[in-house]
Amino acid sequence: MIARLFPGLPLILLALLAALSFWLSQSARTPSPAQDNEMGRTPDYRMENFSATRMDQDGLARHTLVAKAMMHYPDDDTTDLEQPLFINTEPGKPALQIKADKAKMSSNNEDIYLTGNVMVLRNAAKGRSETTMTTSLLHLIPDDDIARTDKPVVITEKKSVINAVGMEMNSRTNITQLFSRVRVIHDNAR
């Protein structure tokens, strides 16, 4: 009797069942890598108050990396750091400290990209006063003792303030190159 009142009822039920099956199959699928990136990556481990020291062949500390938090991501084998502090204590050279809001380390740990309120502090050495440098992004290559950026930088020494866009600092050679829009303010009264 119901089939006579609604002759299309079996067809409607079949369409609803097909729609329900389609919806269930879509919601049960695992997200693609693109969808996973949109939803946020999940680290395979996280450490709080992280510290690591790399030694040279003679067992002396070459540099130390400290961070408030460290998260490792298995999908691309990168590591994110919160409030990183990189300290280079190579014997015979002035200590160099680099801190930032965040950093990302490459899978092979050869490249560290520091971002947000990046500050470099080089201690005083023979004939040179303490030097600070600030920028928004710094690419650090620890094994080559190189730090570089293509962003604006401000370098401050005892009697000078230098503004530039782009810089490369080589700690092995003690040479810092400034690339463009270099402006120096030197004050002998300091």
Q: What is the pLDDT of residue 91?
A: 72
Summarize the confidence of residues 42-63 as an average pLDDT: 85
pTM: 0.72
Summarize the confidence of residues 161-166 as an average pLDDT: 94
CB half-sphere exposure, 35, CA atoms < 13 A = 5
pLDDT tens profile 69-126: 999 998 888 999 999 998 887 777 778 899 999 999 988 878 999 999 999 998 877 7
- Residues of the chain above pLDDT 70, percent: 78
Residue 49 to residue 69: CA distance in whole angstroms = 6
pLDDT tens profile 20-47: 566 666 555 555 544 444 446 788 889 9
Q: What is the pLDDT of residue 36?
A: 45
Q: Among 68, 78, 84, 81, which residue's Cα sits nearest to residue 41?
A: 78
The mean pLDDT value of the chain amounts to 81
